[in-house]
Amino acid sequence: MQTLSGSHAIGPIVPIATVLILTVMSIHNSTSAVYEKHPCLFLLAYGIVAAKYINKYVVCECVYC
């Protein structure tokens, strides 16, 4: 399925899935349980990482369309 600009609609799933997989891995491998003690810190940190990574992906897709 393609959009009007010719890009694929499934494309943004790759960076979103990457961030989610890394997040889940870091939660399960955490020995200090910092994510349970400070959930706001967790959401801010991974929210910033996800926003930066996904924005870079979208800009890259727009430039090379």
Q: What is the rounded average pLDDT of the residues 31-52?
A: 85
CA neighbours closer than 13 Å in the CB half-sphere of residue 65? 14
Going by pLDDT thresholds of 50, 70 and 90, the confidence category of residue 35 is confident
DSSP string across the chain: -B-TTS-BTTTTHHHHHHHHHHHHHHHHT-SS-HHHH-HHHHHHHHHHHHHHHHHHHHHHHHHT-
CA neighbours closer than 13 Å in the CB half-sphere of residue 47? 6
pTM of whole model > 0.85?
Answer: no
